[in-house]
Structure 1
Amino acid sequence: MEVRILGPVEPSVPPKPAQILAVLAVECGRVVPVERLIDLIWGEQPPPQARKSLQVHISTLRRAGLPVEHRAAGYVLNAAPEDVDLHVFRRLVARAGDEPDLRARAEALTEALRLWRGTPVVFAQTLDVQRLAAAEALVDAELALGRHAEIVEKLGAYVAEYPLAERLRGQLMTALARAGRRADAMRVFRETRKVLVDELGVEPGEQLQQLHRDVLEGARDSRRNYLPRDAGDFTGRDAELSRLLDSDGGVWWIEGPAGVGKSALAVHAAHRLADRYPDGQLFVDLHSPSGALDAVLRAMDVPSERIPEPAEERAALWRATVGGRRVVIVLDGVTSVSQVRPLLPGSPGCLTLITSRSRLCGLEGVRRIPLDVLSSDEAVTLLQRILGDERVANEPGQAAEVARLCGYLPLAVRITGARLAGRAHWPVSKLVKRLSSERSRLDELVADDLAVRSSLELTYRALDENVRRAYRAFGFLGLSEVPSFLWGHLLDEDALDQLVDARLLDVIGSARYRMHELVRLHARELAEAEDPPADREDVVRRAVVAALSTVDGLTEHLFLAVPRMQDSLGVVPTVARPADKDAWFAREEPLLTKLVERAAELGLAEVACQLAEVLVFAWFGLRNRYEAWERSHTAALEAVWRKGNLRLEAVLRCSLGQMHYKRDNLVEARSWFETAQTLFVNIGDKHGEAVAMNGIGMVCRELGEYPSALRALGRARELLESDDPEGVAHALYGIGSIQRDLGDDAGAFETLAGAEAGYRAARSRRGEALAARGIGLVHRARGELDLAEEHLVRAHEMVTGTGDELLGCYTAQALAKVLLRKGSLDRAERLLRQAMDGCRDVGDRFGEALVRRTLGEWRLVAGDHAGAGVLLTEAVTSWTDLGLPLWRARTLRDLGAVHACQGDAAGADRCWDEATRLFTRLGTREAGEARQWPAQWGLAVS
């Protein structure tokens, strides 16, 4: 069904549904959030039942046969762009921009403008700007074809519709003058001046006034200033401006991306330098070298009849004309060096300022000024200068956020400032809200004839199709930066280099590309409009595979709560490892997390899940990167849930349980593990069930729920016995640790020895070190300090070889405690200080509390009773916060000893009584040792 919104909405429906249909048609094929629909249709004060009303209006559209579908986030018009007149209009305008033949260009623009039947019911101002731009482009083509008389009537109609459009009026004056109707052209100028003064209180711009002088005098005075009006609110660029003002002429190439303020800098500098170049200040909006030469020659008072036709002769005449003179000329919008060469003055006393979105290549003797976006402070200052009131000062935080959402791009800041200046009743915060949506941000960055989208469109349409394709792919990927390990699998390097030359990409460091946020939004918008969904998704899928090919080779064997489920997902071939793994991951973590979220957003559940899981064992779990871990897995979980993939859902739930276990959120961790275990049982996945049971067992052990822990770990061992020796070893490690806590030393030795052998057979150095540490702790609990030291030294050396800094903190703490009991206080303290630093670096709360408690024990042995009391009291608070009763009891026992050493019998009794109750309830080995404490520490204070 054809949908027409460039005028009254067709098919015809009631007013509110028509507005909704028009909004959906503008976003054809893209989901429009409910909140944005309500805001666009009802404005700032929607009715209380706006959502209900929206549903009713959507039903009206569906009854009319319109393909409006509900999605999770909002509604979408499921129609092809060629069925919506607005998108046909835009396609025709884009085709005209690519068309070198003037007649074909005029035909395409004429066809596009015929689609307009009146004023659109939504986005009228934004769409009208696009229509005006198309009309001006059509007039340019018609004038270039010499159709001066034929275009006058059409131009008059356009001027009647857009009475404040100076460019249209200038085109009408040009057409009339070239048609021999000088008097009519003069009348148009007088009418224009009256309209502008009456309506806006301003005089016509410099270009229109110059055109008036041309018509009036029939020639130009070469000593006059033909520069556009200088920006009164020009901001920043101090270093660049100083270079230009200090120069002694020559050629300067000012380059930068669309909207960065190249023309503003060139014009501002030219105005400031006007006195030093008294023979002329020229400005050329460059379209073709031939036309530009004609313009500058006439500007220097060369009669038209003396201007030769061949371009080479015009260039020679231009050099002769300015020879010996001092002229400043701004060549604006240069796209290639070939445009510039004929226009360069031969005189050394001249200054040429070139602005271009392309990088300089092949022009000799040129000095280059690259422009980037403004600083945050400069962008806020520009906003304040445009507004000229106290609104920025009243909302400084909101003004800074507007500048950030504009990407500090001068054009975008100028547009937002113009919108706010024209809406005195708007607080700055209102514009923040409107700019916050990525989907609609470019729609908001439009004010009169200024628009970020159209500025970018000019650059984009000048590219070859393969470069455009790379641009769209980069934008759709959703990443602000793309490093070499991704783009090497996705994008052609030549195409990327051309995007760099067009200033749509920047190169950072070695072969790393960055795209400005607003440019990325434009590229993504074009990808969604021009590329098939399958092609778009394939870009993201290939990016995830490229990331996996690097990250999967960096995975580590971690023993947290759950071993990695090696068979849960496909394994991707690896590539070369980065030289510095930690530095690489620290740099790439935001990008990799965003890539998981982007894949999940597009429904690429399997690859999103795979990358999220691999990242746990490569980085998140190793360095306790909890925020990225949770973000990636929550996004992937939502995607697999939508797909109904129960196995992947269980895998991700296990991993989130692992994360909460690591964060010491034990009750929440158990909930995740239990849900995963139920899912695995329901789908008959015994290996998955065992992995989840391992997690449940380790959580229950930490909570002191030993019977439940032994049942879970025993079940995991049973299920894993035949196919996962490493998983069996992990279950044995948990069982042996519980046996040690309960005082079953013989059972603990046997079980932990089995775990050690299993880890060794699996070639897991980390696991072997973990089991050796466990055996050492049994010896330590039995008072067998030499044997304990032997095992713990071996464990610590093995861990040091693996690079697992966190596990190294635990082996260091365990060894330090043995050294402490053997009287080696200095060695013990060094190990404990190192362990504390390591735990703090990765935010391990359990480790910090454990080391703090051991430092308290160290102070107790060293005779610093007050210091010991402070550290142990802090540790007790930590164990309480973490919900770990066994560790609270152990630390209370130590704190009781401090009170005893200080002669505080009552304080010691309070601590020991609570510790005894906890040990007894838990059934641990310490329950039978409680009677010895008073005598042990009473002897110490006597």
Structure 2
Amino acid sequence: MKVRILGPVEPPVPPKPAQILAVLAVECGRVVPVDRLIDLVWGEQPPPQARKSLQVHISSLRRAGLPVEHRATGYVLNADLDEVDLHLFRKLVSQAAEEPDLRVRAARLTEALRLWRGTPAVFAQTLDGQRLAAAEALVDAELALGRHAEIVERLGIFVAEYPLAERLRGQLMTALARAGRRADAMRVFRETRKVLVDELGVEPGEQLQQLYRDVLEGSRDSRRNYLPRDAGDFTGRDRELGRLLDADGGVWWVEGPAGVGKSALAVHAAHRLADRYPDGQLFVDLHSPSGALDALLRAMDVPGERIPESAEERAALWRATVGGRRVVIVLDGVTSVSQVRPLLPGTPGCLTLITSRSRLCGLEGVHRIPLDVLDGDEAVTLLGRILGDDRVADEPAEAREVARLCGYLPLAVRITGARLAGRAHWPVSKLLQRLSGERGRLDELVADDLAVRSTLELSYRSLDDDVRRAYRVLGFLGLPEVPSFLWAHLLDEDVLDRLVDARLLDVTGSARYRMHELVRLHARELAEAEDPREEREDVVRRAVVAALSTVDGLTEHLFLAVPRMQDSLGVVRAATRPTDKDAWFSREEPLLTRLVERAAELGLARHACQLAEALVFAWFGLRNRYEAWERSHTAALKAVWETGDVRLEAVLRCSLGQMNYKRDHLVEARSWFETARTLFVNIGDKHGEAVAMNGIGMVCRELGEYPPALAALGRARELLESDDPEGVAHALYGIGSIKRELGDDAAAFETLATAESCYRAARSRRGEALAARGTGLVHRARGELDLAEEHLVRAHEMVTGTGDALLGGYTAQALAKLLLRKGLLDPAETLLRQAMEGCHDVGDRFGEALVRRTLGEWRLVAGDHAGARAVLTEALAAWDDLGLPLWRARTLRDLGAVHACRGDVADADRCWDEAAGVFARMGTRESGEVAQWRARWRPAAISR
């Protein structure tokens, strides 16, 4: 429990117990004698029953949950020192005193002073002196850091609280003088003298008087401070600021996009460096070189009649005027190097800080500082400093989301902060709600004369027509990034580079471009206002076709319940393809998914559907990328509904059925497939009906519903016989697998062999491997281990050649189980570890459960009965979660053997009885094998 005494005592208790708690808190962890407690609480004349009252008050503190304990001589607060605000304050002050880093020291002292909430309950004068010392130490650190302007307001508060503290008043004078407010500094001295004379009858001390004389003397040399007001809430940029503060003169070019805080950084650095450039601190908002030179010369006290008319003569006079002097010059809003050249001093000793949205090119000897947006923590900190209250601390998640929606752009964060600061009754969540919609976000980012939209508008209007069009195209496209395989079909690289030079576009990698979120919203607004609808939509159509040109060349034959149904958009395969397919799709998945969604938003249903389906066969279905699969297909399906295209709806429903099938959501999968089948039947699409029937059959097979599964797969085979060898192979594989489950081995061998031939004809290496695996499983079930090994090794080798880790997990598991039957435990374990890794990597829950069950069998054979029981119990829970009773029964069969080996006859029989019931109900081959298991394992239990 936290105890606070630096202000009203917390937790709140009645007055006397509060005083007692405060005394104990000051001495936290040390025994306070009873007599001392009485003296401190009741004074020199305590009541007769003081000891009794003390006991009563101590009891009330204990009832409040406070850890007050009795000792032989008194009482002690037995709490962690960090839980008591006074001791935490002292700890932070002590840490600050030993901290060499001024920034960290200032942060520690600020944190310490925030613990004070008012007058302490006890020892007020002594503790208040400690607070004053901490305040003076904080000001020393801030002044050493050059935060002169920032500390003035807080110093004024300290001085008001400690009006007789000469050192604080001297620090205020120093801060004001260094911030260029020397008249205010001298006024503070006069006020100080009056207070000291009136209150104490003494003159200011010699140190304060010397400071006054220094300020008075220095006013003649520092009258040329033309810098704008420094931002008191300046945040972040530590690395960039450090470079400027370490600079000894020279030219520094601060570049970055609109609103990123270039001017704020330059002005802040110039204020911090004022003492090192005593001959002047100048600021010019550039419009033309000639006008800028006039302003600079007048700032250096050159009379107007001496300033020449020509720009060349003004430049020469400027260089002569600042020659040999130390001046810091901020040239703000530079648009070209030609503006800058006449303004640069001709001799060393001056520091020139240039801010520009343009990239540096052609200026010699310049130091470049590129600025990007703030990071998330800095943006939230800036928001909190602007507000100056507890709203950010009260709603940290909402504040972080506001910063994200501002794109971490300092201008946008500053605007949101100003809006909230002007509406003290608004929680952060209210502004978050208003910012959440993309359509109105720029409307919300306006506060007085600050607006993100108008700032971007200035940059946009300075562009050529073709560059403006590219800006609008990228904004309307609405993608997080635009790689070369897209922009090469839409825009010229030269135009893109000009947008980069204008800082409206960033280069994020090799030929990849990215727009800041708020810039993209502005560009989209302009596109919707200035470009015809058909022209806008054509941009997205062309982007989809460009994406398909690459993706279509990367699709593969997959062993899926449904084959791909193509609907050509006239796509031509790209001339070059990614060399590392996995790396390419890992990088491009968010972009491609968003492109499907963008096409769907615009009602481009065929384009959205085609790209979504291509992605399934190139990436989503290969690597089980379920989230992107669902997002893309849900968006495409919505667009299809609005067009009324029944066939496309059925295609997407089949694909969503397949996604749920692979995800082991079997009931949902069947629902998607059945609706798709109905739609295909209604429009007379027999091929589509067959595809849906294939899906229904595979789902029913997994659920152990064999008669409807065989009927569905038989119908699919019949419909696909003439035109789709891959679809026929899928149906045959399903039929053969069911025949194996039912113990019809002859039919299983025949059907799986035909399936393998069909897969080979369709050039589906994966399907061919799965059919070979299926044949191997039949041989293994029959005890024909050598024949099984021949087929399973061949299947595993084929899959290994495809690089399919998931399918490789299944072939590895089947082969491992065979090796286990042969007593080859070590190679079996190696394969099982590989299989588990492959299934886990793609989130295949069925595969993980299957491998886990086999690992349980491995432990059983190895004699690790406790380990086998643990692993099989985990597998059992997985089958329950997946809703697969047949696999639960198979695991119970193994678990029964484990119980038998451990001597648990009743538990073994219970497992075998439940498993036998499931096998009998489903009619699987195991229904005739349970008796063999009892005969094999039950004697082990009885013998124990």
Trace 1:85-100 onto structure 2 (pairs within 5 A): none
Deviation at 1:222, TM superposition (A): 9.1
Please tell me the residue identity of whatever aligns with 2:728.
Answer: V
Cα separation, 1, equivalents of 2:560 and 2:875: 22
Which residue number corresponds to residue 658 of structure 1? 658
Deviation at 1:575, TM superposition (A): 3.7
Cα separation, 1, equivalents of 2:776 and 2:575: 39
Deviation at 1:666, TM superposition (A): 0.6
Q: 1:567 to 1:330 in 2, by over 3 A?
A: closer
Residues 1:384 and 2:384 are matched in the alignment: yes
Cα separation, 1, equivalents of 2:485 and 2:525: 25
Which residue number corresponds to residue 210 of structure 2? none
Q: Deviations over 1:341-382 (max 9, x none)?
A: 111121212211110000000011111111111121211111
Deviation at 1:525, TM superposition (A): 1.2
Which residue number corresponds to residue 915 of structure 1? 915
Cα separation, 1, equivalents of 2:372 and 2:457: 19
Q: 1:560 to 1:420 in 2, by over 3 A?
A: same
SS in 2 for 1:363: coil
Trace 1:5-44 onto structure 2 (pairs within 5 A): none
Is the 1:836–1:848 contact (alpha carbons within 8 Å) kept by the matching residues of 2? yes
Is the 2:249–2:350 contact (alpha carbons within 8 Å) kept by the matching residues of 1? yes
Deviation at 1:569, TM superposition (A): 6.8
Deviation at 1:672, TM superposition (A): 0.3
Q: Deviations over 1:140-162 (max 9, x none)?
A: xxxxxxxxxxxxxxxxxxxxxxx
Which residue number corresponds to residue 754 of structure 1? 754
Deviation at 1:903, TM superposition (A): 1.9
Residues 1:700 and 2:686 are matched in the alignment: no
Cα separation, 1, equivalents of 2:295 and 2:486: 48
Q: 1:569 to 1:475 in 2, by over 3 A?
A: closer
Cα separation, 2, equivalents of 1:401 and 1:336: 37
RMSD of aligned alpha carbons = 1.8
Please tell me the residue identity of whatever aligns with 1:689.
Answer: E
SS in 1 for 2:866: helix
Cα separation, 2, equivalents of 1:710 and 1:574: 42
Cα separation, 1, equivalents of 2:738 and 2:571: 35
Cα separation, 2, equivalents of 1:760 and 1:528: 52
Please tell me the residue identity of whatever aligns with 2:416.
Answer: T
Query: Which structure is larger by alpha-carbon Rg, 1 or 2?
Result: 2
Q: Deviations over 1:371-413 (max 9, x none)?
A: 1111212111111211112222222222222211111111111
Which residue number corresponds to residue 673 of structure 2? 673
Is the 1:222–1:301 contact (alpha carbons within 8 Å) kept by the matching residues of 2? no
Residues 1:541 and 2:534 are matched in the alignment: no
Q: Deviations over 1:569-592 (max 9, x none)?
A: 765424422121111111111111
Is the 1:733–1:751 contact (alpha carbons within 8 Å) kept by the matching residues of 2? yes
Please tell me the residue identity of whatever aligns with 1:528.
Answer: E
Which residue number corresponds to residue 317 of structure 1? 317
SS in 2 for 1:374: coil
Deviation at 1:303, TM superposition (A): 2.7
Is the 2:810–2:835 contact (alpha carbons within 8 Å) kept by the matching residues of 1? yes
Residues 1:507 and 2:482 are matched in the alignment: no
Cα separation, 2, equivalents of 1:434 and 1:863: 65
Trace 1:570-581 onto structure 2 (pairs within 5 A): 572-581=572-581
Is the 2:540–2:598 contact (alpha carbons within 8 Å) kept by the matching residues of 1? yes
Please tell me the residue identity of whatever aligns with 2:254.
Answer: I
Is the 1:286–1:331 contact (alpha carbons within 8 Å) kept by the matching residues of 2? yes
Trace 1:127-526 onto structure 2 (pairs within 5 A): 223-526=223-526
Is the 1:221–1:301 contact (alpha carbons within 8 Å) kept by the matching residues of 2? no
Cα separation, 1, equivalents of 2:304 and 2:569: 75
Please tell me the residue identity of whatever aligns with 1:599.
Answer: A
Please tell me the residue identity of whatever aligns with 1:861.
Answer: V
Which residue number corresponds to residue 806 of structure 1? 806
Cα separation, 1, equivalents of 2:750 and 2:341: 86
Q: Deviations over 1:739-792 (max 9, x none)?
A: 111111000010111001111122221111111000000001111000000000
Q: Deviations over 1:167-192 (max 9, x none)?
A: xxxxxxxxxxxxxxxxxxxxxxxxxx
Q: Deviations over 1:683-729 (max 9, x none)?
A: 11111111111000000111111110111101100011100111111
TM-score by length of 1: 0.76
Is the 1:206–1:228 contact (alpha carbons within 8 Å) kept by the matching residues of 2? no
SS in 1 for 2:389: coil
Cα separation, 2, equivalents of 1:335 and 1:264: 17
Is the 1:698–1:709 contact (alpha carbons within 8 Å) kept by the matching residues of 2? yes
Cα separation, 2, equivalents of 1:862 and 1:765: 35
Which residue number corresponds to residue 773 of structure 1? 773
Is the 1:777–1:788 contact (alpha carbons within 8 Å) kept by the matching residues of 2? yes
Cα separation, 2, equivalents of 1:274 and 1:526: 43
Is the 1:812–1:832 contact (alpha carbons within 8 Å) kept by the matching residues of 2? yes
Cα separation, 2, equivalents of 1:337 and 1:734: 72
Is the 2:773–2:792 contact (alpha carbons within 8 Å) kept by the matching residues of 1? yes
Is the 1:599–1:607 contact (alpha carbons within 8 Å) kept by the matching residues of 2? yes
Deviation at 1:488, TM superposition (A): 1.5
Deviation at 1:567, TM superposition (A): 5.5
Greater shift in the superposed pair: 388-397 or 493-502: 388-397
Is the 2:859–2:867 contact (alpha carbons within 8 Å) kept by the matching residues of 1? yes
Residues 1:556 and 2:567 are matched in the alignment: no
Q: 1:718 to 1:321 in 2, by over 3 A?
A: same
Deviation at 1:316, TM superposition (A): 2.0
Cα separation, 1, equivalents of 2:929 and 2:743: 11
Deviation at 1:223, TM superposition (A): 4.2
Is the 1:897–1:908 contact (alpha carbons within 8 Å) kept by the matching residues of 2? yes
Deviation at 1:940, TM superposition (A): 4.7
SS in 1 for 2:369: strand
Residues 1:796 and 2:796 are matched in the alignment: yes
Is the 1:206–1:227 contact (alpha carbons within 8 Å) kept by the matching residues of 2? no
Q: 1:584 to 1:488 in 2, by over 3 A?
A: same
Deviation at 1:855, TM superposition (A): 0.6
Please tell me the residue identity of whatever aligns with 1:773.
Answer: R
SS in 2 for 1:330: strand
Cα separation, 1, equivalents of 2:445 and 2:749: 70
Cα separation, 1, equivalents of 2:696 and 2:386: 61
Q: Which runs of 5+ in 2 are unaligned?
A: 1-178, 184-219
SS in 1 for 2:489: helix
Please tell me the residue identity of whatever aligns with 1:616.
Answer: V
Q: Which runs of 5+ in 1 are unaligned?
A: 1-204, 210-219
Q: Deviations over 1:534-558 (max 9, x none)?
A: 1111111111111111111111111
Deviation at 1:513, TM superposition (A): 1.1
Cα separation, 2, equivalents of 1:357 and 1:523: 17
Deviation at 1:330, TM superposition (A): 0.9
Is the 1:473–1:527 contact (alpha carbons within 8 Å) kept by the matching residues of 2? yes
Query: What is the aligned residue count?
Result: 727
Please tell me the residue identity of whatever aligns with 1:916.
Answer: A
Is the 2:809–2:839 contact (alpha carbons within 8 Å) kept by the matching residues of 1? yes
Which residue number corresponds to residue 604 of structure 1? 604
Cα separation, 2, equivalents of 1:323 and 1:468: 43
Cα separation, 1, equivalents of 2:336 and 2:223: 29
SS in 1 for 2:251: strand
Deviation at 1:301, TM superposition (A): 2.4
Cα separation, 2, equivalents of 1:615 and 1:570: 17
Cα separation, 1, equivalents of 2:403 and 2:574: 42
Cα separation, 1, equivalents of 2:518 and 2:899: 65
Is the 2:558–2:764 contact (alpha carbons within 8 Å) kept by the matching residues of 1? no
Deviation at 1:298, TM superposition (A): 2.1
Residues 1:867 and 2:860 are matched in the alignment: no
Is the 1:859–1:865 contact (alpha carbons within 8 Å) kept by the matching residues of 2? yes
Please tell me the residue identity of whatever aligns with 2:826.
Answer: D
Please tell me the residue identity of whatever aligns with 1:446.
Answer: V
Is the 2:221–2:278 contact (alpha carbons within 8 Å) kept by the matching residues of 1? no
Residues 1:881 and 2:860 are matched in the alignment: no
Cα separation, 2, equivalents of 1:779 and 1:826: 22
